[in-house]
Amino acid sequence: MTRQNKPVDVVLVGLGWTSSIMGMEMTEAGLEVLALERGKDQNTVPDFAYPQMADELTYGVRYKLMSAPADSTVTVRHSSQDVAVPYRQLGSFLPGNGVGGAGTHWNGHTWRPMPEELRLRSYVEEKFGADIIPEDMTIQDFGVSYEELEPHFDFFEKILGVSGTAGNIKGEIQPGGNIFEGPRQAPFPLPPLQRTLNDTVFENAAKIKGFHPFPLPAANASEAYKNPYGMQLGPCNYCGFCERYGCINNSKASPQTCVLGALKQRKNFSYRTGCEVIKINKDSSGKKATGVTYIDPNGDEVFQPANLVIVGSYAYHNVRLLLLSEIGKPYDPVSNTGVVGRNYAYQMVGGATLFFKDKNFNPFIGAGGNATVIDDFGTNQIDFKKEGFIGGSYIFAAMTNGQPIRNMPLPSGTPSWGADWKKAVKANYGHTMTIGTHGSNMSYRDCYLSLDPTYKDKHGLPMLSMTFNWKENDIRMTQFMKKQIEGIVEVMKPDHVDYSFKDFGSEYDVRPYQTTHNVGGAVMGTDPATSVLNRYLQSWDVHNVFVMGSSAFPQNIQYNPTGLVGALTYWSAKAIREKYLPNPGPLVQV
């Protein structure tokens, strides 16, 4: 039997970055807010305390902080002709779990998109003509502009304490920063992290080639810092255990270090852990949510009434919850109708590994966001018509997480075991660096999310299914980036170099880690026929449901998503506070 709780004003699904921000905004508006998080509570002390955090096997290799597939996973297939099979072991992407979500074990690369990326279809049509967009490519505009989001990027960067060098302040180009970025109102709150040998070597080569290197904006505090919520960050000590780990040092921005300490002080905020939301309930009209149903730690079903449901359970979990709750019409790729699940996209990455006998990189010394970047091949810098693809990448040299089980690149041709393997390990550990590309991924008619017909989760509910594969456009883009890197590597003159870029015919592979930058499926936009949410991240169909996170991206930007995810959350919060609360109902009429 379903138990019923006392009603609240706002229920937040999940407690990662998006819900933590919403918690601040909604409590500030005077509302009573409850967050339901399926995972456990976790804090810097005792959960991330030194020395047990410095354990590569437990956290880096066995994924102790991530969501275990035994608890929750998806099924995957390359095309709708295939039978989807479960993502049984983590590999390609590593979803978060527990208070703080993936924001506890991210790296901290913090980007704003290029203004053109938020209006990608319009940009391409205006500049190159609609005919260069392949017929099955379903790219769209976000429906919100860079200028509208700018104050929210700025505030989110101040919450995170981002370390970096600005490239464009109010239209004035700043040498040493990213000269291709959109104008920002203020510099980054902290100066960049210290440079390591790898990025100095890369920076010199990039400059020789005429490119414009700059330090990657990092949510790893370069100095002691107090954010606008009064939360205190300590200077990063380049501990080397960053991505996949909780920060031992209160240096990496996480919901815990930047938001939750302040939020938990508020009397009108509470949260419950071990509570997995399985449905958003609706009233008889189907146009209004009445609250959510969750499974509590005892396995009991509980109904939590709420006036406002804000979903922040991570990109593809958001989509599944909408499908399970029958909110919005499910997408059907055959008839090309419906919206929920439409425009799932991922990220196109590639890289080169360079070996230098005479260089000692000390790869174990590094922060999550410790990198030098060039954006000379960003989305707004490429002639799509001439090059034959749509998209772009930033190119970066990073030194991070140099632990020996996972981070042991050896020159191609080295045996994988035996005496010669060991000799190569001894000769090469500490003498390699990488140059990577982190690129956009377009959306397509046949890449989408749906409910799986066969596989169920531990509650007996259908799992989410991903239908996804690489497309020619995106392979062309990554091959173009490879050429640019080859030019830089030529200047650097390593003793040996290996390239790893997807080639024509490569299929999506769930085994190697790529990024946890899954996007789309509940996209925002201006037309309810092609989007699930309006430009304020409000459901077109059920007006008191708002959905946060990268599920709103209609295709993937070339950057890591969280800067945009955070800014969109503040943008939506402002709309809720200023427009929705005084006058509840659809914020956009069509």
Q: Among all residues, which ones are annotated catalytic?
A: 517
Six-digit token string for 577:
């506070």
Nearer to ligand SF4 by C-beta: 190 or 367? Answer: 367
Q: How far is the CB of 393 from ligand SF4 (least distance, A)?
A: 24
What is the Cα–Cα distance from 513 to 509, expressed in whole angstroms?
A: 9
Residue 549 touches which member of ligand FAD, ligand SF4, another protein, none, C-beta under 5-8 Å by kind: ligand FAD
Q: How many CB atoms lie within 10 A of CB 64?
A: 17
- Exposed, middle or buried: residue 459 (CB in 10 Å: 0-12, 13-18, 19+)? exposed
Nearer to ligand SF4 by C-beta: 251 or 465? Answer: 251
Alpha helices, DSSP H, located in 134-209: 146-160, 197-208
Cα–Cα nearest to 32, from 6, 56, 63, 4: 6
Residue 474 touches which member of ligand SF4, another protein, ligand FAD, none, C-beta under 5-8 Å by kind: none
- Exposed, middle or buried: residue 542 (CB in 10 Å: 0-12, 13-18, 19+)? buried
Asked if 317 interacts with ligand FAD (CB under 6 A), we say: yes
x-marked contacts with ligand SF4 along 248-287 as a string, rule CB under 6 A: -x-xx-----------------------------------
Place of tokens 């970066």: 396
- Exposed, middle or buried: residue 205 (CB in 10 Å: 0-12, 13-18, 19+)? buried
With contact defined as beta carbons under 8 Å apart, do 217 and 394 qualify? Answer: no
What is the Cα–Cα distance from 143 to 525, expressed in whole angstroms?
A: 5
Q: How far is the CB of 122 from ligand FAD (least distance, A)?
A: 25
What is the Cα–Cα distance from 319 to 532, expressed in whole angstroms?
A: 10
Segment near ligand FAD (CB under 6 A); pick from 15-23, 25-33, 207-215, 398-406: 15-23
Q: How far is the CB of 436 from ligand SF4 (least distance, A)?
A: 18
Six-digit token string for 522:
């509940």
- Exposed, middle or buried: residue 505 (CB in 10 Å: 0-12, 13-18, 19+)? exposed
Binding to ligand SF4 (CB under 6 A) within 365-424 occurs at 367-368
Enumerate residues 6+ apart whose C-beta is below 8 A from 208: 491
Candidate list 156, 202, 238, 314; residue touching ligand FAD; CB under 6 A? 314
Asked if 309 interacts with ligand FAD (CB under 6 A), we say: no
Q: How far is the CB of 240 from ligand SF4 (least distance, A)?
A: 6
Residue 63 touches which member of ligand FAD, ligand SF4, another protein, none, C-beta under 5-8 Å by kind: another protein
Candidate list 220, 307, 473, 538; residue touching ligand SF4; CB under 6 A? 220
Cα–Cα nearest to 548, from 346, 252, 319: 319
Nearer to ligand FAD by C-beta: 367 or 475? Answer: 367
Candidate list 160, 162, 236, 277; residue touching ligand FAD; CB under 6 A? 277
Residue 288 touches which member of ligand FAD, another protein, ligand SF4, none, C-beta under 5-8 Å by kind: none
Asked if 546 interacts with ligand SF4 (CB under 6 A), we say: no
Binding site for ligand FAD (CB under 6 A): 13-19, 36-39, 94, 96-98, 101-103, 105-109, 243-244, 276-277, 312-314, 317, 321, 516, 549-550, 560-562, 565
Binding site for ligand SF4 (CB under 6 A): 220, 236-239, 241-242, 245, 247, 249, 251-252, 367-368
